[in-house]
Structure 1
Amino acid sequence: MPDRPEHRPVLAGNAVLQGPGIRLEPLPEGHLLHVMGAIDDEGLAGHLSAVGLEASTIRSAGYRQWFIAGDDALPSSRIAALSSALQGSAFVSDQSHGRVRIGLSGPQAAELLAKGTAVDLHPSAFSEGRSTVTLFGHITLQLTRIGADSFELTALRSFAEALYEELEALAVSLGAAPEL
């Protein structure tokens, strides 16, 4: 018997739903790092590049807080390298094990999201690259616009299945079906 339980992606068995104007999909669990400190976006981007994480995205998570997200799992040595690079200006907390990312895209994505959150999703109010912490129904999540009609939702791992089920029901109501 192993000392620790084997990691299983929480949404691994969930189907991708696709419809004429909507796509819902579980995203790779990859990495999600919470950075807190006295640094700005440009400085943080420079440090990410210096440690080989330039493919990761930076998302605002509040005053002097960011999430660094990417599709690949990071070895602890890469996280330690970023922590060392930021020493004296910011701290890094690995949240990869505790949060799950979900992709939602298509012309009806904002319509679906409007059924569960009070965020104004019009592109003039919530532009590409913008991120906010909000509720979807009763579940807290970070909502990021990653494209004109594309969003990424990041929720606590323990709420990810419930959130995905709710999003599935809404996507089906908009004409989505499991992708074959």
Structure 2
Amino acid sequence: MLDLSVRKAVLTGKPALQGPGIRLEVLPEGHLLHVMGAITANDLERHLSALGIKDTAVRPAGYRQWFVVGSERLSDALVRDLAGALAGSAFVSDQSHGRVRVGVSGPLAAELLSRGTAVDLHPSVFPEGRAAMTLFGHISVQVTRIAAHGFELTVLRSFAESLYEELEALALSLGASRISS
């Protein structure tokens, strides 16, 4: 039997929420590569640039581990080229099919997130570019500060709907309302 590549966005139809000081939204399911090995973020960024992979971010995901994320899908050939370029120093695992990204932004974003995680999100200890693997309630997520008042949460696909529903309830409690996409 042929292995058919059918990919459906897991949070399709989930509305964005917006209110005074808060915005919650589903981010595009582009690419998410897990890179593991003896490589620095700067070296990884150089390899990405050399391959023409643009509009992507490199985020720490653990000791000698990185997430390479972006809103556009990468071809299988490009992922193989990156794996080949990193051979001998790092391994690449395409997790695009298995993880979902959610955006929380606005002056109340840190307050919303602090209701579900124990990570200290104050900018002095969690500045822009910082990422942490943590729990949000009972769900494992990676929280990344992407702007002064902006965060991105990366979650395993099977927990995405549950996480989004928890975030929706918290956003509504902070005065947000559902908006059309």
1:114 equivalenced with 2:114 (yes/no): yes
Partner of 1:65: 65
Checking the alignment, whether the CA contact within 8 Å between 1:128 and 1:148 is kept in structure 2 is yes
What's the TM-score once normalised by structure 1's chain length? Answer: 0.97
Partner of 1:128: 128
Overall identity of the aligned pairs, in %: 64
CA distance in 2 between partners of 1:6 and 1:93 (Å): 19
CA distance in 1 between partners of 2:168 and 2:61 (Å): 26
Partner of 2:175: 175
CA offset digits 1:1-53 (Å, max 9, x no partner): x8537311001110000001100000001000000011111111100101111
| CA deviation after TM superposition for structure 1 residue 133, in Å | 0.3
Q: Which amino acid aligns with 1:77?
A: A
Summarize the Cα distance change of 1:76–1:123 in structure 2 as closer, same or farther, 3 Å threshold. Answer: same
Q: Which amino acid aligns with 1:59?
A: R
CA distance in 1 between partners of 2:25 and 2:177 (Å): 12
Partner of 1:34: 34
Partner of 2:161: 161
Q: Which amino acid aligns with 1:58?
A: V
Partner of 1:142: 142
Name segments (4+ residues, structure 1) moved above 6 Å.
Answer: none
Checking the alignment, whether the CA contact within 8 Å between 1:24 and 1:102 is kept in structure 2 is yes
CA distance in 1 between partners of 2:81 and 2:122 (Å): 38
Partner of 2:91: 91
SS in 1 for 2:82: helix
SS in 2 for 1:122: coil
SS in 2 for 1:165: helix
Partner of 1:102: 102
Number of equivalences: 180
CA distance in 2 between partners of 1:3 and 1:118 (Å): 42
SS in 2 for 1:54: coil
SS in 1 for 2:47: helix
SS in 2 for 1:96: coil
Kindly report the root-mean-square deviation, in angstroms, between the aligned alpha carbons of the 2 structures: 1.3
Q: Which amino acid aligns with 1:171?
A: A
Which ranges in structure 2 are unaligned for 5 or more consecutive residues?
none
Checking the alignment, whether the CA contact within 8 Å between 1:45 and 1:54 is kept in structure 2 is no
Summarize the Cα distance change of 1:3–1:89 in structure 2 as closer, same or farther, 3 Å threshold. Answer: closer
